[in-house]
A and B are shown apart, each in its own frame.
Chain A
Amino acid sequence: MTARNRELLGLIPASLLVTAGFAGVFIQRSNALSNVSLTYGALFLGLCIAAHVFIRLTLPRADPYLFPLVAVLASFGLVMIYRISPTLARQQAQWFVLGLVLFAGTIILFRDYRKLERYRYTIVLVSLGLLVLPRLPGIGYAANGAYLGVRIPGLFVFQPAEFAKIGLVVFLASYLRDTRQVLVQGGRRFLGVTLPPLKQFGPVVVIWGLAMATLVVLSDTGSSVMFYGGLLAMLYVATNRLSFVVIGLIAAAIGFWYLGTHIPHIHARVETWLHPLNPRLYHAPLGSYQVANSMFAQAAGGLFGQGFGRSALSLPAGGALLPFPQTDMIYAVITAELGLFGAVAVLITYLMFVARGFKTALLARDSFSTLLAVGLSAMFALQVFVIVGGVTRVIPLTGVTLPFISYGGSSIVTNLVLLALLLLISDRARRPA
């Protein structure tokens, strides 16, 4: 079977999932089996096939599993958001369509994605500009103490950190490709550890410091972990020096310890993470209510879950039992309704997506492509880790989106652009020499 036919085959399960999921939610909501769920499934299949035909025409050799894996994740997202609120699901579907348009646009515009290298300083400046945008008076606004969103009145709301993610990876891939040899050869050895030369390492440190400082100002710790982890992964792949990673991790540990004890907003997050059932924290505004209830919801899911639409999300008297179920807590809702098996399946899907991304990096023939694929995959993996880890109380909860599943236009659009870049890299890598 050719790669593209395999991709087409992989889209069928995704549309079956949409159909089954919507049917399940319908039954729970109106106690009727309606053929509307079939319509939704068919619509979703139609959209995916349109994207598939586009990939077939433009990138015939691209990895065949990336797109079906994304379709499965998106179907999860649509079903769960529909279960939470049909209005939000309609909006999410619109964002998905817009995302696919941008996906196609990226593939057409950056057919030779290596021309991105030429604009690397523009890209990094725009990305950093996007990061500080939410702090500007007038358009920026804070949610739960973090400055995450930009609101253009009457038009739309978006989260610029999502877009900055890709820009920073492109810059670092291009910059590290140029300096990786110097970073290794110019390094000095100290106590048996290779230290990078300051001159070439300088800009990396500056970018890191700027991103960190911006994020401290914005209080968006989740994205800061993502960016920093992505930077370390790319540095490791570019130089093959474990010492750089170790130095970076030590620096990060000191930084996060300082932030965790000295910035009130972050300190509060650490406290709710350590003591979610403490009554004082549980009843405090922005306290541990969300984290504690998410754990109860996940426990209620058991092995196979309570079934579509059957978990409790709001109190009988009104008010949310699980705040932000469509963004932060969507993983907890999935666990509650599909159980451990459903939640593990989501994680395996992410794992396979990331594995395909690293495979693409291995196949790529030039180091810019390798670094770009590694950076995008690592950033994606870290984003999943930050939010799933937060919801399952492995690490303090910080608000980033669960890629392709959470409600949010910026997130779904950015991640589809990320997918487009991975497909472009993999198509070029698999082209016969």
Chain B
Amino acid sequence: MLAPVSVALKFGFLIVLYLFLMWVAWSALRDLRRGRGGVVRSDRAAPYDATGMYDAASDFAEVDEDGFEPRLMVQRAPGHENGSTYEIPTRGATLGRGDVEIQLDDPFASAHHARLSREGHVVVIEDLGSTNGTYLNEEPLSGPQPLHPGDRIRIGDSEFSYEA
């Protein structure tokens, strides 16, 4: 007596299932199309805008009124494109492997490796007690040091130059 209901339930089950799967596939496809310039962007998918600046860095970049824009330029660093730059905001920036402003994908880097802080127009670098040390122009860093344009900062296999 209920056999037709049973058959209807079976086909209903399959229809709901396929509609759901089509919905997921369709949304994923739309995601993909939008993905290139869209809401969700990873720095790996789209590392640069036209100025060669990291998207990730731009939201904490604040330009001083008098145009002082200290930057770190990547000389060589795993996971970073050579020649890309990071601005150092007025509140400073930390380098390291952890959840910090400038993330290093380097086996020799500590989670919070070194700190760049701004004092007026001077940027000071300080090692945060890292395991493998920070090198300023190939000299191991001990205590805070002011940076001069062209200085080279090395952490493990990652090397940056300071530009102002």
Which A positions have Cβ atoms within 8 angstroms of B?
Answer: 6, 10, 13-14, 16-17, 20-21, 23-24, 27-28, 31-33, 65, 68-69, 72, 112, 114, 177-179, 181-182, 304-305, 307-308, 337-338, 341-342, 345, 348-349, 352, 355-356, 359, 362-367, 429-430, 432-433
Tell me how far the C-beta of A333 lies from the nearest C-beta in chain B, rounded to whole angstroms: 14
| Chain B interface, DSSP helix/strand/loop, else mixed | helix
Interface string of B33-62 (1 = CB under 8 A from A): 000000010111100000000011001000
A31 contacts B21, CB within 8 Å? no
Docked Cα-Cα span, A359 to B9, in Å, equals 34
A17 contacts B28, CB within 8 Å? no
A345 contacts B99, CB within 8 Å? no
**Which 7 A-B residue pairs are closest in the complex by CB-CB distance?**
A433-B56, A13-B20, A24-B9, A178-B107, A20-B13, A345-B17, A27-B2
Tell me how far the C-beta of A310 lies from the nearest C-beta in chain B, rounded to whole angstroms: 8
B42 contacts A429, CB within 8 Å? yes
Instruction: Name the residue among A10, A20, A72 with the largest chain B CB count within 10 angstroms.
Output: A20
Docked Cα-Cα span, A13 to B6, in Å, equals 19
Interface CB pairs A-B, < 8 A, 9: A13-B16, A17-B17, A20-B12, A27-B6, A345-B14, A362-B45, A365-B43, A429-B42, A433-B59
Tell me how far the C-beta of A26 lies from the nearest C-beta in chain B, rounded to whole angstroms: 9
Q: Which residues of B contact A359 (CB under 8 A)?
A: 28
- B10 at interface, CB cutoff 8 A: yes
Docked Cα-Cα span, A68 to B21, in Å, equals 10
Tell me how far the C-beta of B161 lies from the nearest C-beta in chain A, rounded to whole angstroms: 21
B23 contacts A307, CB within 8 Å? no
A-B contact count (CB 8 A): 110
Tell whether A352 pairs with B14 under 8 Å between CB atoms, given A33-B2, A181-B78, A432-B59: no
Docked Cα-Cα span, A66 to B103, in Å, equals 28
Given A31-B2, A359-B28, A430-B40; 9 other pairs, CB 8 A cutoff? A10-B24, A23-B5, A68-B20, A305-B10, A338-B10, A345-B18, A366-B103, A366-B105, A433-B55
B157 contacts A304, CB within 8 Å? no
> Which one, A10, A17, A27, contacts B5 given CB within 8 A?
A27
B9 contacts A342, CB within 8 Å? no
> Which one, B12, B21, B97, contacts A349 given CB within 8 A?
B21
Docked Cα-Cα span, A342 to B14, in Å, equals 6
Closest A residue to B19 by beta carbon equals: A13
B16 contacts A16, CB within 8 Å? yes
Docked Cα-Cα span, A187 to B41, in Å, equals 33
Tell whether A338 pairs with B13 under 8 Å between CB atoms, given A27-B6, A181-B157, A362-B45: yes
- B122 at interface, CB cutoff 8 A: no
Q: Which residues of A contact B23 (CB under 8 A)?
A: 10
Closest B residue to A79 by beta carbon equals: B13
Q: Which residues of A contact B9 (CB under 8 A)?
A: 20-21, 23-24, 27, 308
B14 contacts A338, CB within 8 Å? yes
Tell me how far the C-beta of B11 lies from the nearest C-beta in chain A, rounded to whole angstroms: 7
- B149 at interface, CB cutoff 8 A: no
B16 contacts A20, CB within 8 Å? yes
Q: Which residues of B contact A24 (CB under 8 A)?
A: 6, 9-10, 13
Tell me how far the C-beta of B95 lies from the nearest C-beta in chain A, rounded to whole angstroms: 14
Q: Which residues of A contact B40 (CB under 8 A)?
A: 363, 430
A352 contacts B59, CB within 8 Å? no
Docked Cα-Cα span, A432 to B57, in Å, equals 11
B44 contacts A6, CB within 8 Å? no
Q: Which residues of A contact B20 (CB under 8 A)?
A: 10, 13-14, 68, 72
Docked Cα-Cα span, A179 to B16, in Å, equals 47
Tell me the chain B residues, 48-81 only, with Cβ under 8 Å from chain A: 55-56, 59, 78-79
B157 contacts A68, CB within 8 Å? no
Q: Which residues of B contact A305 (CB under 8 A)?
A: 10
